[in-house]
Amino acid sequence: MANFLKLVWNEQVKLFNRKSSWVMIGFILVLVIVNGVMTQFFGSDEQETVYSDNWREELVAENEKILANTNEEDMNYYLDQEQLAKNTFYLEEDQKPIPYDALTFTYESYMLLLLITIFTIIVASSIVANEFKWGTIKLLLIRPIQRSKILFAKYVSVFLFSGILMVVLLVFSFLVGAVLFGVNGLSGDILLTKPMGGYEIASAWAATFKEYGLNLVALVVMATLAFMISVLFRSSAMAIGLSIFLLMAGNGLVLFLSKYAWVKFILFANLNLGQYFNGGTPTIEGMTLAFSVTVLVAYFVVFIVAAFWSFTKRDIA
């Protein structure tokens, strides 16, 4: 066990000795700041509105003002209609409007998890392939350590790195949100928009961690796919290009093939587990959460077995 932990530690040291790793972290920090500044200056008036104890009367007056000035040709028409729907929801639920603060901003920053998925794919694609490219693979394998243990250490290191990126995103989003929008407590609720329309109130941290968890599933599967490709073909470029292309084009491919019953067995039809939550509907009729999890596990096992079989059985030229 100690040897394995040392292998993982060495892989982490190698990762953080690369400038590209720090560029990834810096890019995330910059995007969080840019997102915060843009949200502050170009967001809706709702983010700046503070309601008093007479919030019901204020919401009714705001709704009347919106209805009196309704004009479908107005560039703010859809924003006004969204605000009208939110106000109506608060009135019907007898809920004082939830202020936009650091918790809300932290939740909304989960969209940057797609970037972390891409960065993880890049790391997973290069962590083995670069050993072949740089000619260091033979030096790595001459040690009296099983090949499978060496490969597993690299695999674990990929997700330790992605975990660090996630923590950076979460913590820095809260800090930027606190500076720009203030903090109304370390725990609280946020207003969520349902996929099929309507709203619901949920715990801010519960909603945030749920999004992180759901996105983590896609991250692990796609990074494992990239890891397998890099091991099989010993090419980081192929693994990065193919994996990112499939990540981006997967949903379009599923929609294009949606008329076929077998499309539900395609990886990308099951990758977004969020389709089963918050009142959403599955991409393909008849699919369930249990079905998608089963399909993802099957693909995951195939990717892992193929990668480890190739690495442990093939000759190192």
Domain map (residue ranges) of the chain = 2-17+103-313
pLDDT at 15: 94
Do the beta carbons of residue 213 and residue 111 sit within 8 Å? no
pLDDT at 43: 67
pLDDT at 223: 97
pLDDT at 314: 78
Beta strands in the chain (DSSP E): 189-193, 199-203
CA distance linking residue 82 with residue 45, whole number of Å:
12
Give the position of tokens 């079905």.
291
Provide CB contacts within 8 A for 89, sequence distance 6+: 95, 191, 198, 199
Instruction: Name the stretches of the chain with pLDDT < 50.
Output: none
* Joined tokens for residue 257: 């093939």
Q: How many Å from the N-terminal Cα to the C-terminal Cα in the chain?
A: 29
Q: What is the pTM of this model?
A: 0.91
CA distance linking residue 117 with residue 159, whole number of Å:
10
Overall residue count recorded for the chain in this entry: 317
pLDDT at 44: 61
pLDDT at 24: 97
CA distance linking residue 125 with residue 192, whole number of Å:
35
pLDDT at 222: 97
Please name which of 3, 305, 9, 282 lies closest in space to residue 157, comparing C-alpha atoms: 9
- For the chain, count helices (H), then strands (E): 13, 2
CA distance linking residue 173 with residue 30, whole number of Å:
11
pLDDT at 45: 58
pLDDT at 207: 95
φ, ψ at 102 (rounded to 5°): -60, -35
pLDDT at 54: 87
- The whole-angstrom distance between residue 198's C-alpha and the CA centroid of its chain comes to 23
For residue 68, how many other CB atoms are within 10 A of its CB? 7
CA distance linking residue 180 with residue 174, whole number of Å:
10
